[in-house]
Amino acid sequence: MDLDYSPSERAFQAEVRAWLAKNLAPSLAEKVRRGQHLQKSDIEGWHATLNSRGWLAPHWPVEYGGTGWSPVQRHIFEEECCRAYAPRVVPFGLSMLAPVLIKYGNDAQKNHWLPRILDGSDWWCQGYSEPGAGSDLASLQMRAVREGDHYILNGQKTWTTLGQFANMIFCLVRTSNEGKRQEGISFIMVDMSTPGVEVRPIILLEGTHEVNDVFFTDVRVPVENRVGEENKGWTYAKYLLTYERTNIAGIGFSMVAMDELKAIAADQRRAGRPLAEDPLFAARMARAEIALENARIANLRILSEAAEGGAPGVESSMLKIKGTEIRQEIDSLKRQALGAYAAPFLPDAFEPGFNGPNVGPDYAAPIARQYFNNRKISIFGGSNEIQKNIISKMMLGL
């Protein structure tokens, strides 16, 4: 098996690299590299730049605006974007809702909502979790009661990532209490400017406003905003989650983080020698790098299979577990490599325009914050324990 890129893939890589060098503003890349807070306009601007080149939705079918790239090209593109420190594209519309609409939406929904995702008219967020429904998502309680041409929504969603920027939310709602719990759920799209929708911030461990509670009080939603059939939402919800999990693995992020770790370990010294030469530290770095290479190949295999046969299946659970474990291990090694410099927390260092003194080397500021923030990746999209349950049932037949 030849794991090197072919000449045409190398040419593609060079094309992407050159385009990024020309189109990604150095000031924006620097913000991302330094882990600074991005403004809504930063994220929207990058979304528009990618869209103007037709590179915003590589995983969509060509007829809806996809690129037609092979899985290897998609991987190269993701890797190059990470290496260039491009902002992360917000996945809720592009990578979660869109595959559901493409597979289960009606023509009117596809024609209306997909172009709006591409041109940035709508910023979507995800309303799955509730205070009493996380891992056990099927226990969700938010009600949608049919009243003529509308559903009336009452309840609460929580952990809603970037809900403060969103104008649209897709929700799992309970439309029936009969039969199995999974059989009474519907998938519905809600305009967040509808009266009765209220977004309240939740502040994370490291001080950022990234997630929210969203409350719904007598919110009227047109029936045409339901995707697919009433009470069949569980099927669509699970389909969406396979895409979400494949994204969370974040192989491209880990590849960049691994390079950063090597640079830090070469720069930091222990007992008069570069830390990279410490046998225990070097062995841990090597283990992480080997795991990353394995995950990279697995990612390509899963993408190839998905390209031929539709959605990534239960393999997305494997990839999520390994990918997030690797990211967290690299975060942990970076923090360990910095020693005492990982301890100070300078909130101002994450504000755009910060040029105050650093504590320790200039790469130190974001490391502890990334470590704490990335505790989330083994939780959201279904915790890693839940992924193990899925693997044991679906793959091992236990």
Binding site for ligand FAD (CB under 6 A): 126-129, 134-135, 159-161, 211, 376, 379-380, 382-383, 385-386, 389
Nearer to ligand FAD, 140 or 342 (CB): 140
- How many Å apart are CA 173 and CA 230, to the nearest integer? 10
Report CA-CA distances (Å) from 176 to 180, 185, 216, 312. Answer: 10, 7, 18, 29
Q: What's the min distance (Å) between Cβ of 382 and ligand FAD? A: 5
Q: What's the min distance (Å) between Cβ of 213 and ligand FAD? A: 11
| Residue 244 is a catalytic residue | yes
Of these residues, 244, 277, 289, 293, which one is catalytic? 244
How far is C-alpha 174 from the geometric centre of its chain's CA atoms?
Answer: 26
Q: What's the min distance (Å) between Cβ of 113 and ligand FAD? A: 18
Report CA-CA distances (Å) from 398 to 12, 242, 315, 390. Answer: 43, 21, 16, 10
CB 165 within 8 A of CB 123: yes
Beta bridge partners of 268: none
Q: What's the min distance (Å) between Cβ of 132 and ligand FAD? A: 8
Q: Residue 76: helix, strand or coil by DSSP?
A: helix
Dmax (CA) of the chain: 76
Q: Where are the alpha helices (DSSP H) in the chain?
A: 7-23, 26-33, 40-53, 71-83, 91, 98-104, 107-118, 233-248, 251-267, 279-309, 315-338, 365-373, 384-394
Nearer to ligand FAD, 248 or 333 (CB): 248
Q: What's the min distance (Å) between Cβ of 389 and ligand FAD? A: 5
Report CA-CA distances (Å) from 164 to 67, 169, 219. Answer: 30, 11, 18
Nearer to ligand FAD, 77 or 380 (CB): 380
Residue 383 DSSP one-character state: -
Q: What's the min distance (Å) between Cβ of 380 and ligand FAD? A: 4
With residues binned 3-state (H G I as helix, E B as strand, rest as coil), the percentages for the chain, rounded to 5, are 55, 15, 30
Dihedral of the alpha carbons of 4, 6, 7, 12, in degrees to the nearest 10: -100
Residue nearest to ligand FAD (CB): 134
Nearer to ligand FAD, 330 or 377 (CB): 377
Residue 146 DSSP one-character state: E
Q: Which residues of 205-243 are buried (b: 16+ CB within 10 A; e: fewer)?
A: ebeeebbbbbbbeebebeeebbbbebbbbbbbbebbbbb
Q: What's the min distance (Å) between Cβ of 92 and ligand FAD? A: 7
Nearer to ligand FAD, 176 or 392 (CB): 392
Nearer to ligand FAD, 24 or 133 (CB): 133
Nearer to ligand FAD, 209 or 301 (CB): 209
From the number of C-beta atoms within 10 Å of its C-beta (0-12, 13-18, 19+), residue 280 rates as exposed
Q: What's the min distance (Å) between Cβ of 339 and ligand FAD? A: 27
* Paired sense of beta strands 269-270 and 226-227, if any: unpaired
* Paired sense of beta strands 197-203 and 209-222, if any: antiparallel
Nearer to ligand FAD, 225 or 373 (CB): 373
Active-site annotation, residues: 244
